[in-house]
Chain A
């Protein structure tokens, strides 16, 4: 098998690998939201509430960061 052919196969299998990763990521995003571990949608507020002194959103954890601090 020449180098050219090897490159072709390498490219093919890398594509398959990356496709699996990408789909895995989709599943991860939706599953963690369903389980209540994450809330990605609240990150959208970062653009709307963007004053220098507004409270940062900080994480995709469902609980606001200050509430977490109190729970500690």
Chain B
């Protein structure tokens, strides 16, 4: 046995999840770029028979980027940073090491099987909850093994106070567990049809308006607890650590935490404005969405203020650039969302391309940027080598920033054009345009988005290359960097 003096943080699980973050990021964004191109050039739908159509690939894109890339990123950063802020190594408990590895392998094979099932068109037909019930059970097991790992680590910690990032990771765990269970209550059609249906294919236990409400309570909070809460957990650890500046106001971080928890859960009905859900619930969804600006900006401004007096780092360290841009995009999308949730704006925005525009300034600018920055920060510490190339990182930053801007500006214009054209009536009250008129007008914007996809994907490949080079052939470090990550 090693003596206590040689005890180190154990990054083996964090490394495994780092590999899958890169793998699923590449896969998911490649498919994203392909479906974006299909919107501009429909012939691309016929490349692979039924497997290559937009309708088959779209859920594959969303599932891979959310449950493949983002979850892997969350777990990579969790297994890295939780040890550090709790000041306890996973190597101190054989059981926790086992759970961590079990968590990873169950997840990895589950995710691969899920990709195949979606490609085969096996689906429950609920957005972001497409996977059939056997997968749902595996997902529960994966989630429970994460929970055991997390609370086990908390149980043996040396640092008694839980750092704010841990609160956010815990919220991610609890929030998704609750949402997931309620939304995935499904019955195999065999039982609902007196034996005519199938054992494998299931439908939601709820129906009609109730199903819609549960679905968007889940759907919106998947954004809250998958794309927001754990990413905020990351920035609260990685930005202070990389810059050497303690978080600007710890109290503000606590307030924003509880504010976010309290408000987010009630905003989901903004996905169902002008539908058959009770009117008061729609109004509540709108109001809570607008109020949501406050805790969201609370965190984002706290991060920007953390850089107070240290803004020179923004020009010197590309990692700081990634993180500051991430929190800026977080501010942009948490302002845009509430605007779209206002009923009169929603009447134009709903069902248009403005919605994917909003989704992607959030995910490309905030989620992916933050995850990449976190992994870049972790790499020199996990692999004990400096980051392979600073120049490449800079180039990647500008390429991807350009891509995000092209993506959301083209979709803003496309969405608003679309919304206005659908509603336009002539002096007699007849609709002025047919659907195909809008499709023709939107072609250039779809082409711009496809280009944005190519640029963003290229940037992601540069990230993957830089990471792989860092793991394998970069200069070795003799000691762990304290704050700023070393890069060649």
Interface residues of A (CB under 8 A from B): 4, 8, 11, 15, 18, 22, 25-26, 29-30, 33, 40-41, 43-48, 50-52, 54, 56-60
Contacts and interface: CB of A to CB of B under 8 A. Distances in A.
5 A-B pairs with the lowest CB-CB distances in the bound complex, closest first: A44-B246, A50-B84, A46-B163, A56-B159, A58-B160
A29 B254 contact: yes
A46 B241 contact: no
A59 B159 CA distance: 9
Contacts, number: 80
Interface in B183-234: none
Contact of A57 (B161, B251, B278, B280): B161
A41 B163 contact: no
A26 B266 CA distance: 21
B250 A40 contact: yes
Nearest to B259: A22
A60 B240 contact: no
B251 A40 contact: yes
B415 to A, nearest CB: 31
A27 to B, nearest CB: 11
Given A43-B250, A48-B240, A56-B87, 12 more contacts: A8-B278, A11-B284, A22-B262, A29-B254, A30-B251, A43-B164, A45-B246, A47-B246, A48-B244, A50-B84, A56-B159, A56-B160
B379 to A, nearest CB: 17
B400 to A, nearest CB: 26
Contacts of A46: 85, 159, 161, 163
18 contacts: A4-B278, A11-B280, A18-B262, A22-B258, A22-B259, A29-B255, A45-B246, A46-B159, A47-B85, A48-B240, A48-B244, A50-B241, A52-B7, A56-B160, A57-B161, A59-B160, A59-B161, A60-B161
Contact of B254 (A15, A40, A47, A57): A40
A interface majority secondary structure? helix
Contacts of B158: 56
Contacts of B422: none
Contacts of B161: 43, 46, 56-60
A37 B16 CA distance: 43
B249 A41 contact: yes
A15 B283 CA distance: 14
A52 B241 contact: no
A3 B163 CA distance: 42
B247 A47 contact: yes
A29 to B, nearest CB: 5
A52 B87 contact: yes
Contacts of B258: 22, 25
A33 B252 CA distance: 13
A4 B483 CA distance: 55
Nearest to A18: B262
Given A11-B284, A22-B258, A52-B9, A44 B247 contact: yes
A47 B236 contact: yes
A69 B326 CA distance: 43
A60 B160 CA distance: 10
A52 B88 CA distance: 6
A36 B254 CA distance: 18
B255 A44 contact: no
B280 A52 contact: no
Given A29-B254, A52-B89, A43 B163 contact: yes
A7 to B, nearest CB: 8
A55 to B, nearest CB: 9
Contacts of A30: 251
Contacts of B164: 43
Given A11-B284, A47-B240, A50-B84, A25 B250 contact: no
A43 B251 CA distance: 10
Contacts of A8: 278, 280
A41 B87 contact: no
Nearest to B85: A46
Contacts of B87: 50-52, 54, 56
